[in-house]
């Protein structure tokens, strides 16, 4: 009887103390907020912010296609591998890899049935990443209707990228978006290197790989803007390693010239960089190593 | 009532601006000029800002691609006059004096909507890939300081006819 009374009074005590402390806390927060005058409010709100944009894989492959029209079908990550990805990080990274692959295949006119295979795989992978409204019946019907128009299919894959981006931002999934964009960029780099072949074999594609150093800077800025997280740490290590190889490039600066012609600003000059045989091989191996760890 | 609005604004700010409905995609506010060969670029952005806030967006301008930048801001009604923007390139100069090499970074304003004559749009083409900044500011006078607005930056792109790719 005494025990029961003790437990009962203990529960009552805990109930009231926890309620009152929570209430006190809420009161304090309210008071703090209400006590702010206009000046304090102005001082507490963010004054400026920097955001980083990253070219979509569609934009990247549009440029690649203007440099080489040769498709390498074996370069992509097989869709069958999607069954092996069990953690959310792996799913997000490889979601990005497949987004990149499908953009590549659509730019190289691989058609409706290939697209539909990707829609099916991305839908399954996306379910665990809160990407649920993108790969529905509406998209399948759209792809079906535009089946023979390869330009239109490429456009749909581009619009699809916008929708995924928007939905992840809307669902506050910055971390997943960081992983997706990084996986996508690594895959793009892998495809660029494969298309570039050996050192100096395709100078234009090689030049385009060098241009990616600026995309990498923005990607790192983007990932860092979502704060530190243990799931992102290994990825940041990879990105920084790639950045360190870019720092080894031979670069020359020339004055930036700015001309205004009929309302268009034209920029010429700036920094030019080149791979040496060693830095090209080092970068290619590093990308291969990182890509393998992502898709395996 | 004012205090209540403050609480809402602070809560929105602390939650990363996600409390209110998301801002629309830029192409929903400014229609891309598809007829003249422009296409919406994936680097376009929309964001929630308070009047007077500054927002810098760093984007990649690929070599040989022509970009057009436009901005607008508002709540329900979006107007280009609600926002000003600058297109900026950062230049790093190597300076050698008395055997010492130093690098100095400076910003060059390529376009300023406040100084532009007519169209509030910047068109740019570069011969080499560049990281460009778009600095936007919601014009304070037009809105109460506590109005959370949507600012959109539309970037359109088309392959440049004049310069080729590289």
Query: Residue A95 has what pLDDT?
Result: 96
Per-residue pLDDT of chain A (296 residues; tens, 9 = 90+): 445 554 444 444 433 333 333 333 333 333 333 333 445 444 444 445 889 999 999 999 999 999 999 999 999 999 999 999 999 999 999 999 999 999 999 999 998 989 999 999 999 999 888 887 777 778 888 888 887 788 889 989 898 888 888 888 888 888 999 999 999 999 999 999 999 999 988 999 999 999 999 999 999 999 998 777 888 899 999 999 999 999 999 898 888 899 998 889 999 988 899 999 999 999 999 999 999 999 99
Question: B89 pLDDT exceeds 60?
Answer: yes
Question: Nearest-CA distance from A143 to chain B in Å?
Answer: 20
Query: Residue A94 has what pLDDT?
Result: 97
ipTM of the complex: 0.81
Query: Residue B95 has what pLDDT?
Result: 74
Pairing of strands B78-79, A264-274: unpaired
Cα–Cα distances in angstroms (integers) from residue B99 to residues A227, A251, B60, B94, B106, in the given order: 41, 20, 35, 12, 22
The answer to whether A236 contacts chain B (CB < 8 Å) is: no
The answer to whether B94 contacts chain A (CB < 8 Å) is: yes
The answer to whether B117 contacts chain A (CB < 8 Å) is: no
Token readout for A216 is 């990498």
* Confidence label for B68 from pLDDT (cuts 50, 70 and 90): very high
| Cα-to-chain-centroid distance, residue A181 | 1
Rg of chain B on CA atoms, in Å:
19
Side-chain half-sphere exposure of B41, counting CA atoms within 13 A: 26
Alpha-carbon gap, residue A4 to A7, rounded angstroms: 5
- A67 touches B165 (CB < 8 A): yes
Which of B5, B62, B110, B112 to probe the A interface (max A CBs under 10 A)?
B62
- B165 touches B64 (CB < 8 A): yes
Query: Looking at the whole model, is its pTM more than 0.90?
Result: no
Question: B17 pLDDT exceeds 50?
Answer: no
Using an 8 Å CB-CB cutoff, list chain B residues near A156. Answer: none
Alpha-carbon gap, residue A215 to B61, rounded angstroms: 10
H helices within B15-149, ranges in order?
Answer: 26-29
Query: Residue B13 has what pLDDT?
Result: 39
**Contact criterion met (CB < 8 Å) for B59 and A161:** no
Query: Residue B1 has what pLDDT?
Result: 52
Domains and CATH numbers, chain B: 25-159 (2.60.120)
Cα–Cα distances in angstroms (integers) from residue A227 to residues A54, A174, A220, in the given order: 18, 9, 11
The answer to whether A256 contacts chain B (CB < 8 Å) is: yes
């Amino acid at each position: 009887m005494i025990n029961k009374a003790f437990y009962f009074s203990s529960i009552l005590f805990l109930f009231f103390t926890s309620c009152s402390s929570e209430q006190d806390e809420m009161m304090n927060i309210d008071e703090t907020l209400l006590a702010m005058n206009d000046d304090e409010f102005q001082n507490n709100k963010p004054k400026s912010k920097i955001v980083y944009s990253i070219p979509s894989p569609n934009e990247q492959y549009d440029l690649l296609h203007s440099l080489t029209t040769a498709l390498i079908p074996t370069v992509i990550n097989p869709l069958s591998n999607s069954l092996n990805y069990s953690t959310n990080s792996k799913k997000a990274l490889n979601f990005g890899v497949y987004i990149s692959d499908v953009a590549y295949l659509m730019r190289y006119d691989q058609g409706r049935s290939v697209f539909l295979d990707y829609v099916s795989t991305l839908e399954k992978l996306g379910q665990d990443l809160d990407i649920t409204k993108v790969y529905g019946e509406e998209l399948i019907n759209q792809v079906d209707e535009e089946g023979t128009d390869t330009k239109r299919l490429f456009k749909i894959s581009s619009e699809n990228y916008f929708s995924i981006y928007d939905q992840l931002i809307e669902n506050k999934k910055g971390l997943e978006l960081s992983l997706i964009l990084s996986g996508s960029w690594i895959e793009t780099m892998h495809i660029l290197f494969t298309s570039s072949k050996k050192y100096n074999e395709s100078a234009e594609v090689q030049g385009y790989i060098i241009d990616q150093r600026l995309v990498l800077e923005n990607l790192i800025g983007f990932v860092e803007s979502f704060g530190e997280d243990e799931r992102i740490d290994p990825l940041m290590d990879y990105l920084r390693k790639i950045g360190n190889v870019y720092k080894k490039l031979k670069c020359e600066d020339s004055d930036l010239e700015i001309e205004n012609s009929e309302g268009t600003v034209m920029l010429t000059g700036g920094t030019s960089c080149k791979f040496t045989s060693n830095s090209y091989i080092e970068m290619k191996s590093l990308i291969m190593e990182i890509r393998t760890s992502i898709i395996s | 009532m004012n205090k209540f609005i403050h609480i809402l604004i602070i809560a929105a700010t602390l939650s990363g601006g996600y409390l209110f409905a998301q801002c629309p995609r830029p192409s929903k506010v400014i229609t891309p000029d598809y007829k003249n060969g422009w296409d919406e670029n994936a680097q376009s952005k929309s964001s929630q800002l308070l009047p007077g806030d500054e927002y810098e967006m760093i984007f990649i301008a690929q070599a040989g691609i022509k970009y057009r930048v436009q901005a607008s801001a508002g709540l329900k009604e979006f107007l280009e006059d609600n926002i000003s923007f600058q297109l900026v390139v950062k230049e790093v100069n190597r300076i050698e004096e008395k055997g010492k090499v130093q690098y100095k970074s400076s910003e060059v304003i390529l376009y300023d909507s406040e100084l532009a004559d007519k169209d509030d749009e910047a068109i740019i083409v570069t011969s080499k890939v560049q990281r460009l900044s778009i600095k936007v500011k919601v014009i304070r006078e037009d809105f109460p300081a506590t109005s959370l607005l949507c600012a959109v930056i539309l970037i359109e792109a088309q392959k440049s006819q004049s310069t080729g790719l590289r």
